[in-house]
Structure 1
Amino acid sequence: MNASESTPTSGGTRPARVRTRHLQDAKDTGRRFAMLTAYDQFSAQAFEAAGIDVLLVGDSVGTTVLGYDSTLHTTHQDMLTFTGAVARSVHRPLIVADLAFGSYQTGPQDAVNHAVELMRAGAQAVKLEGGEAILPQVRAIVAAGIPVMGHLGFTPQSVHALGGHRVQGREHAAADRLADDALALQEAGAFAIVLELVPSGVAERLTEILAIPTIGIGAGPACDGQVLVWQDMAGLSDFHGTFVHRFAELGADLRRAATTYREDVEGRRYPGPGHAFS
């Protein structure tokens, strides 16, 4: 890596632009990396400034921004819009975009077509959910030159088939199926795999047997990286999942700011003399 591709920091040298190979380097050297969802200019720029390595433009935008009750309502056009907003706003993080429900389940050609459009919108990799059933799609996308991130465990687009938001892989047979799916995704060319709502021991086993990085969300501390929905992490949402640590309380801060604004407007304290033009 030449000087133009790296930036010195207090924690060592970080790449000026994160690539998939840097996540592999992190796994190989035992360095943990952080990933957050991002859907807009301001959150993406804040997370870039904080040194977040990977930004996931998740189909969770449907539930966190658009007001839907599940990710099944998020469309491919939604993903193009929000991927573009993030991609135009940052330089350093690796930008991964979700393939929306219905955009890849219909077969490899549809998967490739929609992945190509996400890359044109600014993504540098795409993520899709599932194991053995979507291996043809993974192989086709990788063959088209597009990096693929897998997603196993609880897969939100299959929430109805899975019987709700439930931890996956608790039974030995289910854990073995997860391992088989993870190894198959790796063989198909995936560069990393998200493990969601998986027992920590199972996630540790998968992290050990896989050569590619694992990224946990509700999967314990053994994964190579961690991801959270940013509104959950920052206390902006009402979600209080067991695996979520609220690193801030932005929701409370925003309510206080809005309340003070309303009170100052009603009390004729805002706008004041310094907020007007002569």
Structure 2
Amino acid sequence: MEVVGYISLFFVGLVLGTLGGGGSILSVPILVYLFSIDAVMASAYSLFIVGTTSLVGTFLKLNVQMVNLRVGITFGLPSLITIFSTRKWLIPAIPEVILQTESIIITKRFLIIGLFAVLMILASLTLIRKRKESQSEQEYSGPYLMGVGALTGVLTGLVGAGGGFLIIPALVYFAKMGFKTAVGTTLLIITVNSLFGFMGDVINYQINWYFLFSVTVLAIVGIVVGTHLAVNVSNQTLRCFFGWLVLGIGTLILAKELLV
């Protein structure tokens, strides 16, 4: 299973390079189910893998002018603060058993993975639903976008995800971006959010650096390949594919957690 896991992490980078998100929705299940890593630690490792890989992807997208720095800063700074705070203080404060009765047990693991799946399903619907691509990339409200960024940071911190599956729909819907520019801008935001969120985990947990670096290298190779593949694919095609991918994986994870 671990061999399959290593191969799968190459595809994490491939999906990030092609779609600008989805790295965390793949890496967290891979780490939990194929490497048998605890859900909380898997979410921490996911932040490093996705953040480092997205950093490489950001430079690649900058070279083709597919990153909106203004929106990235407006959205990213509030989310940076909230994701670090969530990882540093909120996650450690959640008890291992949140609720226990004779018939129901709600654990910390179920909360994290379950919330993860529900957010994926909701976010996917905004991308699958057909809408006309905006011709302007400046039609957004700064304060409103900052608020959305802060909320996204909290949710990203809770599930240990880079947040692409939340950030891309937010940028497409609120910032009126074309999908490809939203992808590049999202990679920038993911880089900052993920790596700063991981800093909170370094303080709280013992990290297996050898394992983490080895799987991250595979993901970086994947994002380089994925970035080149995405050049000749249309906005609408990428957006719909990403939406259905998120919906499918979110549904599978939720079903597995509810049936276990």
Larger RCO (CA within 8 A; separation ≥ 6): 2
Please confirm whether the aligned pair reaches a TM-score higher than 0.5, indicating the same fold. no
Q: TM class by shorter-chain length?
A: under 0.3
Compute the TM-score of the two structures, normalised by the length of structure 2.
0.27
Quick check: which one's helix share is greater?
Answer: 2
Compute the TM-score of the two structures, normalised by the length of structure 1.
0.26
